[in-house]
Chains A and B, each alone.
Chain A
Amino acid sequence: MPAIQLLFIAGLTAVLAGVVGFAAVVLASAARSGGGPHVTSGFLRRFARPGRERAELHRWAFYLHRITGFAIFAFLCLHILDVSTYALSPALYDELHGLYATAPMRVFEAGLLVAILFHTLNGLRLVAVDVADMGIDASRRALVAVAALTVVLGAAGGAVIVAPAFA
């Protein structure tokens, strides 16, 4: 494997490790703060009831928003580097970017798409909260819509991205 590809894989591994680490920090600090990720039977029982209890979804959206935000940013940093290889040598660029067509990389890209979708849609929801003065229930419904759209668009887009690798 060419050195440049190895370098990229190392970078990507660092990005993924960073994301996992960041997620761990977020969830650990969440466990200390109120409502945190306590998946106990009592919590699940309450969560099963409709109404205000489900507002906890917002908290999870907040964690996910931060984690996806970090992931997108971290990948973007790597991506800027890998694209800038073009300035050094187009051949080097081509060599490196051959990686993007491989199956594992396509799966990663599909994941990236889901992260971007969630982050974008959820970001729009947060803007809407202020613009449309959305209360706890309206915002929760919007959040459900964000989740649904993320899943649907993510699945469709993911299929398009991943399919060529298996064609």
Chain B
Amino acid sequence: MAMAAFETIDTDVAVIGSGGAGLMCVLHAAAADPSLDITVVSKGAVGRSGCTRMVQGGFNAALDPDDSPELHFDDTLKGGAYLNDQELAWTLVCDAPKVISELETVAGCFFDRRPDGRIFQKPFAGQSFDRTVHRGDLTGIEIMGRLRDQMFRLGPRELEDARALDLILDSSGELAGVSVLDVRTGAVALLRARVVVLATGGAATMYRIAAPAREKTGDGVAMCMRAGLELRDMEMLQFHPTGLLAGESRLTGAVLEEGLRGAGAYLRNAEGERYMERYDPERMERSTRDVVSRAGYLEIMEGRGTPEGGVLIDISHLGIEEVERRFPGMVQRTRQIGADLARGPVPVSPTAHFHMGGAIIDRDCQTSIAGLLVAGEDAGGTHGANRLGGNGVAESTVFGARAGDRAAVIARERDLREPDHGQLGRSVERAFAPLGRDSGASPFELTRALKEVMWDGCGVVRDGERLRAAAETIDDLAERVRTVAVPGPAEVNYAWQEALDVRNQLDVARAVVVSALSREESRGAHHRTDFPERDDERWLRYVVVGLDSDGELQSSSRPVALERRRLASKA
């Protein structure tokens, strides 16, 4: 298939992704310097793709006079099993209240109030203080809806339905811009930019049972990797304990919110036993996500699961009316699959939810490539080994905002560069290859195969043997992805897009598996049956992976800098 001649667009700040991080970045960059030319590139609809939109639970911020960033910080480290980059976590907790205030006063969000008219904060797992701000169970819609409205005020250039393909450097290895594929027309553009902000939101869709939106295929992380950046904590993938099981339906994996367990829901296995008694008798169902997910997974693996391959969540003892009143969205979701949360148990399974790992950044989102910033779920370090519920949207908005501030500064200092046309050509050629082939693997089959191997080999509970087998399968799939063939035109061809997605997912999957193999202990979301204990002596270190100059994936580890908190008590 011949590729259309491409257009070059020059811009000051290119923001890749239009989730919480992406749009907060636009908001801040434009506020810092209204004269900036800002371009948003979004694979899905602007402001209506990605996971920030799907946030139900809420947003953690220490607003109450009796609460403090210090306490929030301690919770975050404890949740993260002390693997966090403390600088990033500290930045998160300090900025979160400011961002809440900004969302309300600038963006026009309105969060739920207490009877006295001040912002209401609810309890959430793993927190010593009730600090989760929310708007019903549709917090994400309120935040993303209002941020999207801001775009009408600010008027950035919006490239909607446009997929960033690769970071393009100049001949001396400096960042020049991004290659972008217009999904609607199949045309390629080179976006030359002084600053590129990556905010494409992680890769957790690569599991059989997964919660996130379809766009989240690790594009940003894979782009960073291919550009030679190092990634950290890639083995740390969070599973939400209560993902809906709906058979073949795409609904499988959709999250039933954490608040259910908070409100007293029971988890039972097929034998009717409240199995959390065996895993965490003290906190039972209210234990942290990693523990509850693992428990559910083990129950299923040991044959005590339901025929659907799940366990049961049951909150019907609160009474039909109470459940309907407090969790209308969740009740509706279960009714859609022919179950009913208000009236009886619903089959659930752990579901891949959030990727803690990602690019290594500093507190202003800067990476080791000048002019490249990474924000939101694409970056690693803030959450350590496990993310607290409510810290995700906080991270994306806090760091998105910081990236915007920083981008405005860098844009004044950096020039536009002339891209290396050879590299650009290769990026485009690779993208178009599947369209040119007459026969080959189907992208949908490859995605399926990847989801299976990740679920079985690198899932909630891991061991060396299965990880090695998974690594091999992934290598095979990576071979097959080179032969993938897609019929049809370049315009609006979602099978082709799937082929491009799965290629990125495979790159990221390999990094996840390699990191998981090298961490020979269990910590947070990473649990290995061959190394079931947490080992602070050897493993208060974070795993770093990156491609070497031959394109081989190398891993190493570095000690966590305990600059603000030494290891307190064991979490």
A–B contact, 8 Å CB criterion (strictly below): no
